Amino acid sequence: MGIDMQIVYLGFAGAAPLEAEAGAQLVRLARFGALVSHCHLAIEALRPGSAHPLYDVRLDLVTPAHELKPVAHCTDDDAKAAIRRAFDAAEMTLETAIGTERGN
């Protein structure tokens, strides 16, 4: 069974390319399915309508025991880059959790 994802857009209308990027990044977490059952992705436009947009991306992981594991915020003027960095951080967090469980 895969990991479910909910995406919320704040301050702007969602976009198919951002959903596609988030879906592609979610595939990277599939190997952690025993540790994560859901994730919540929030993409917020901090300067909506500005000539220099800024996006804050927040990713929260939800364990099978329904515990919330927030990942550090990632901010960038490119929403796709911020999404990738959020999933990079999630992957590192999960790899650390596996290493800790194994006693590494």
What is the tens place of the pLDDT at every residue in 68-81?
999 999 999 999 99
pTM over 0.75: yes
Rounded-to-integer distance, Cα 83 and Cα 99, Å: 24
pLDDT of residue 101: 64
pLDDT of residue 97: 84
Find, among 93, 85, 94, 78, the residue nearest to 41 by Cα: 85
What is the tens place of the pLDDT at every residue in 7-22?
999 998 889 999 999 9
Residue 54 in this model has a pLDDT that exceeds 80: yes
pLDDT of residue 2: 82
Token representation of residue 32: 């952690």
Domains and CATH numbers, the chain: 4-102 (3.30.160.100)
